A and B are shown apart, each in its own frame.
Chain A
Amino acid sequence: MKCLETEKLIGYAYRLLDEPAASRVRAHLGDCPRCREIVEQHGRLDAVLSEWKTEEPSPEFDARVRLAVEAQKSGSNAWAVWHWQWARGLVLASLGVLIIAGVVLFTLSHRVVPDSSRVAEQKPRQATSAQAPAQVANFHSLAVPGDGSSSPVQAVHGNKSAVGFTNEDKVTQALEDYDLAANFDLLSELPKGEPRVAN
């Protein structure tokens, strides 16, 4: 009788065969002592292998696992908190940048570009307006001594030495004062050059 392949015998011994294949091996073993011996040896091997025992885990094993898991959990929480803080910081930083950018843009859009000719005009104008009451008083003091028909400008030029204007700035100042004096005339509702009407 031809012996079966060792794989089939081992498969039978360790119940790795399906039922039809196991039935064929079982039938063969009844007639083949050599194959039966191999199967029996594997049965004994199975028993011998069972002698290899292992010990229980050490008493601290469970605690170690729990600690590791707890550490992992807290690590995850710390990571989440860090992420949240990081996100919050990012938002605050973005807001800060936006605010600064807004301020800069506002400043740039409202900035007066300095013009050299206008600056030249503005400086004496500012000085004149600051000195306006005194200059008006001077103007009236200049106009009163005249005949009343001459313009204040003429009066200014005509009495230049009398009032002590010695440079161009003061001439300009007097021209500005003329404008101011014209306004005074309007305020008094008197036509220019006309004598005052007595009540």
Chain B
Amino acid sequence: MIRLMGMIALLGLAWFGSPPAHAQTTASAQLTNEHLVIDYVDPRNPAYAPLMQRLKDQQFLERLQQFLSPVKLPTRLRLTTRQCTLDGTPNAFYYPLDWQLNICYEIVDYLDKITPTEPVNGVPPKRVITGALTAIVLHEVGHALFDNLQVPVLGREEDAADQLAAFLALQFDKEVAMTVVTGMAYAQLALKNVGMGVPVDRRSFADEHGTADQRFYNVLCIAYGSDPGAFASFADPSVLPPERAEGCKKEYAQVRDAFYKTIFPAIDPAKMALVQSVKWLPE
């Protein structure tokens, strides 16, 4: 668990702020992985050009690359930011045929536009959006790891990817965990508000994804199950119904067990130790 915490701390670097300069230098020099390739793809729509530049300035993909570097990947994994559609549909997806994880400019743009006006669960508005983007990226990382590491997935993969995203986020300190979990839940509510993930008829249930409501409850349940004290507010009956809340510790344990049995063996301990040695999160 400690080594995992180290890896997750690195993720904190990637998504929650700039690391101390010495830490960044050390990590960028040693946290490499020849199987990870990054690519900021020029958008066809010039309106997305500033957004791409912002991601470049933030070293968005370089940091994701560092975060994933301890994973012993059997094949090349390409991490890209790109324009994915002509109609602006917000999305992010993993494409298994060429092992490519795509973060679409459309989803980053969309998240910018739905920034809440008030804090959510005590998380400042902009951080909620940072948390949402982190959760979305981690969800796609989940698909990529399931595919690359040939992880046995008995349940529905979309739910599994949400579980992995939430699990990883919950290995942060509680402030960071709350940020990502809140962002993840907020994104589902925001998508629901524009009609995405909302069943309009029976055939809507044919979607491989759960409904926005299901995904909202799933992430809150895993968070509550990980630490009922820290996430006690989620167990309010107006949030998680008692009959769901009572099983959340078991749900979290299931995910943790699956992680350690199927993904953790593919983590490079030397790189993990390096990650452990660095204080990644800003003061």
**Does A associate with B in a complex?**
no
- Give me the interface of B with A, judged by CB distance under 8 Å: none
- Give me the interface of A with B, judged by CB distance under 8 Å: none
